[in-house]
Every structure is written in C-alpha cells, then in structure tokens.
Homo-oligomer: A and B are copies of this chain.
Amino acid sequence: MEIIKSLTVPNDRKILLIVLDGLGGLPKDGKTELETARTPNLDNLTKRSTLGLTIPVSYGITPGSVPGHLALFGYDPIKYPVGRGVIEALGVGLSIHPEDLCIRGNFATIKNGIIIDRRAGRIPTEENRRLCELLQSNIRRISNTKIIIHPSEGHRFAIVMRGQGLSPEISESDPLRNGEAPREIKPLKDQAKRTAEIVRELEERALELLRTEKRANYILLRGYSKFPSLEPMSTRYRIDPACIAIYPCYRGIGKLVGMEILQANTWEEEIEALKSSFNDFDFFYLHFKETDTKGEDGDFEGKVELIEKFDRLLEEILKIKFNVIAIGSDHSTPALLKSHSWHPSPFLLYSEYVRSDGIEKFGERSCRKGGLGVFPAIQVMPLLLAHSLKLKKFGA
C-alpha cells in the first residue's frame, strides 16, 4: 500500500463503490440468492464490466463487518484489529476520536457479591435507556476525562472515555460466567495505572447509582479498545471520499478512514444524497445494509427481493455519470447459514477501461469466470484508483 500511495495522482474522475452488505450466498435448489434474483439493470451493467470474487480477509475466515469493510477500503484487517468496545460504540452511533478509550458494558445482577445473571435478566432496551440516562446525568467527568455512556440493545451499553493518556491495558471485570464474583479492574501495564483508577471510580459511582435496582444492580466492563489509528483515505489515496450509509456502525467506519458522512435514512434518500453531492467528492462509498439482515434472518426470498429492489434503484444510479463503478460486498451472508460466512464475495467493476468479460448475469458462479479472478478484497482500492487513472506508472 506504500507503493500505491507513492503513485497516486488526483484528477476529476468519479468513483462509486457500492457495498451490498452480506451479498454473497449459497445455493437453494441450485441457485444462490443473487443468482435467483431478476436483475435486468445489473445484468446490463455486467455485460460491460469485468467480474471477480473477493476474499475479505483470508481463506476460510468469516469476517465481521468492520474487518470486511476495512479490507474493501484498502486497510489490512489483520494489521488493524478492532476491539469490542469500539464496535459497540460505533454500533450505537457514538463518534470516536483517536485518543478515546471505548468499553463494552453489560448490566448484570449481583447478589451477596456473586454475579447471578451476567445479562440482568435481559432487561428491555427501554429500561437500559433509563439506566444509561441515570448514569450519564450523574457521571460526566472523572479526573479530567469525559465519560460518554450510551445504551445499546437489551442489557448492553457503550462507554467512550475521552481524555489524555488512556490505555486499554487494564483487566476486565466480567468473569464471563454466572456464579462467580466480578473481577477487580487492574492495570496490566504500568502506563495503564491512571486509566485503571478512572475506570474503577466510574464503576464505583455507577454501582452506587444502581444500588436500589432489582435486576440491573451491577455493571460488567470489557472489550477495552481504541480505534486503530488509520491514515485517512484523503492522504493515502489523494481522493475526497464521502460515505452514504444509514446504520451507525458503517458511518462510524467511514468516519474513521476519513470519509465525509452524508445524511440519509432510506435507500431512496441514499441515492438522493449521491446525486446532490456528486460535485463535492470524487469517491463515494454507498452502503446498503438489509441484504445482510435478510441473510442473518435465514430469509432467502427476502434477500432475493432486496437484491431486486437494489436493481431497480441501480437504474437511477446509472444516470449519474460515474467513471468507475464497483459493486461488491464486505462478506457473504448466506440465508442457508443465517450468519456471515467465509465464502468469497461477488464483485463487479465497470469503467471505460475494463476488458469486459461479456458475462450475462451477475452471480457468484459467473463472477468466478470473470477477468479479475479470485482475489483479496484489499486489492479493490488499487483497482478502483487505476481504473479512474489516479495511479501513475511504477518505475520507468
């Protein structure tokens, strides 16, 4: 990637990277979700494109959304692991600064010093909100460190600590099973002493506030992490990148690689945002989440329908004159598995400078026959830059 950086030359050409989350699938009655969907606009683009299959992280590895996206943006997901606390904070829509320490919290039930329910009876999200408000309104700052507490789903919440010199090298209080005492939070390295003190004070004050609660009378903390310091895409690739995504996690990832975040709440609004900001950026990451959700639900037909819905919207997208269009995914989410999977993701690349494969239909098996072959997702960015003539010659 250092070589890619040394070759970048900015120009006015516009790149669109469309991520259909969890697009790749597995066959049911011989065809995958994508192969089953009727996609005339996609097929039309396919004929003029070159295809391939992207391996998100490595052979056999099922990636989470964050590593899957980091790879697509050209950042090695193994070199930049992202901790649980960061994921939780991104997921609830908190913005994270490079120095922030992120923590994943659980409400729990304690009795006579023993954790009897690590999930506090899976309290409803409503109760979670009330409790987080109680904590946040009473705990705003500890020893020059700003404390941000935000509810997540069920019994889970996120904490972002904003201050100087915070370290993730402290031990977790969560014993990870019921019937045990919570663990003492201790520094694992000398430079984490002050952080451990702050987190212990946070814990004490929270427990005092929760003392009279029936179920959620304890908090368990784990997943201490900072977001890996990533060179922004603007300096790395000399592009102006924009992120169009509805879900907080994806907006968070976009922010952390230096994208400008555009507002949208529906797929249609995402396309409006793309149109209206076309002149302001030269790289657009356009994220559609629900293909993944349907896969996670095991809803084969639902995923097919969403792919078909995307196909109708694609007609609108193609009216905007991008020089380079890529359609791919952060990982596969086959309805058959009801989860993310390790299978390579179908990938399409259109530009006036591709050797089009002449393939008639966009699908997992047809992508296998494409000119890009089976290749690592981390090579997507170099390909997009090259096809928009943003990379000069290497060597003489």
Residues on A close to B: CB < 8 A?
Answer: 3-4, 7, 26-27, 32, 53, 57-67, 77-78, 81-82, 84, 87, 334, 336-337, 339-344, 353-358, 364-365, 368-375, 379, 381-387, 391-396
Contact = CB atoms under 8 A, between A and B. Distances in A.
Contacts of A57: 394
B391 A63 contact: no
A300 to B, nearest CB: 14
B371 A365 contact: yes
B61 A382 contact: yes
17 contacts: A7-B61, A26-B354, A27-B355, A27-B356, A59-B375, A60-B379, A60-B386, A60-B391, A61-B382, A61-B391, A64-B395, A67-B394, A82-B396, A341-B386, A357-B365, A368-B371, A372-B374
Nearest to A66: B395
Contacts of A58: 3, 379, 382
Given A3-B58, A82-B396, A342-B386, 12 more contacts: A27-B355, A60-B379, A60-B387, A62-B392, A62-B393, A65-B396, A67-B394, A77-B395, A343-B355, A358-B365, A368-B371, A373-B373
B368 A60 contact: no
Residue among A4, A60, A344, A391 with max Cβ neighbours from chain B (10 Å): A60
Given A53-B371, A371-B365, A373-B373, A394 B4 contact: no
Contacts of A369: 368-369
Secondary structure class of chain A's binding surface, majority of residues: loop
Nearest to A7: B61
Given A355-B26, A372-B374, A394 B59 contact: no
A136 to B, nearest CB: 24
A373 B374 contact: yes
A391 B396 CA distance: 32
Contacts of A374: 371-373, 375
A19 to B, nearest CB: 16
Contacts of A77: 394-395
A356 B66 CA distance: 28
A344 B373 CA distance: 11
A4 B66 contact: no
A379 B59 contact: yes
B60 A385 contact: yes
Given A356-B27, A365-B358, A373-B374, A393 B340 contact: yes
Given A368-B357, A373-B373, A394-B67, A3 B60 contact: no
